[in-house]
Amino acid sequence: MADNIDKRSTWWRKDTVAVVTGANKGIGLEIVRQLARNGVTTILTARNEGRGQSAVSLLKAEGLQNVDFYQLEVTDLKSVEDFAAWLKLRYSGLDILINNAGIHSLDYTDKKQGARDVIDTNYYGVKNVTKELLPLIRTGGRIVNVSSRLGQLQTLNRKDLKQTLSSEEHLSENLIDLFVNEFLAAVNKGEITKQGWPTVDIVGTGPESASDYSVSKIALNAYTKLLAFQLSGRVHINSFCPGYTQTDMTGGLGDKTVKEGADTGVWLALLPPSCYDLPSGKFFGERVQIPF
């Protein structure tokens, strides 16, 4: 577990700053807990102020005084801009960004709206936060995106899309945006299966129940790879799948505890600079690189 990271290889100090989005519960809260236990000053963000403050109070009651809070809505550009300004004024910068905030649409009755909200949060929300905070991330910093194995290219049934997103030479932000917009157009037409988009049945909810979630995570993994290329090692960025974890998002089901689900993300965030071939633009599960 990341709680037991070898302190002999630590590169962080008490003034090292981490930000974790969507962290008032579940995997996000556990990531904050594990980072704080390792001595990292950690900012817990959540869109609901009351729940976020309650989460911080819980952690402080556990003896973790190095936790701060900011109310953040990742889909609201003004909220993200205000957070960046606050962060710069209060901490001057940051070293670790964990993009954890995410939703699914299983509870939506309006599936079109659900798909739009999932893409807006899980993909565009990550872009909003990353782009705004990137100038504040110190050289050698880390970005870790919480993704899913549902975001692997093998879930797509279309060769053209697989080739587009797997090509490091031609991949661009515009192409990823076009990818998600094409999916949303298919949702509006009711042609998800017909057009070869991912059809994933989660616990008997139907073959298209998680299509939007899958597409959002494919886009996120592609963006991770693209940004790693653009950053050229100044900041290391990776994504990971926490596995089937017992959280509200899974209805409490899963074969992993939140402690186990958070482990790989914290491990990626705290890998020492001396680690051979420090990864960037890669996808991980259980601390092992897996195919995008």
- Active centre residues (catalytic): 213
Q: Which of 291, 286, 289 lies closest to 1, judged by CA?
A: 286
Residue 240, beta-bridge partner list: 146, 284
Structural element, H or E, at residue 179: helix 173-189
Q: Taking phi first (over 0 means left), then psi (-120 to 50 degrees means alpha), and beta for anything else, what does residue 228 get?
A: alpha
Handedness of CA 1, 255, 44, 241 (dihedral sign): positive
The CA distance from 79 to 81, in Å, is 6
How is 216-254 classified by DSSP, letter by letter? HHHHHHHHHHHHHHHHTTSSEEEEEE--SB-SGGGTT--
CA distances to 58, 69, 184, 247 from 252, in Å: 20, 26, 29, 5
Among 55, 54, 63, 62, residue whose Cα is nearest residue 28:
55
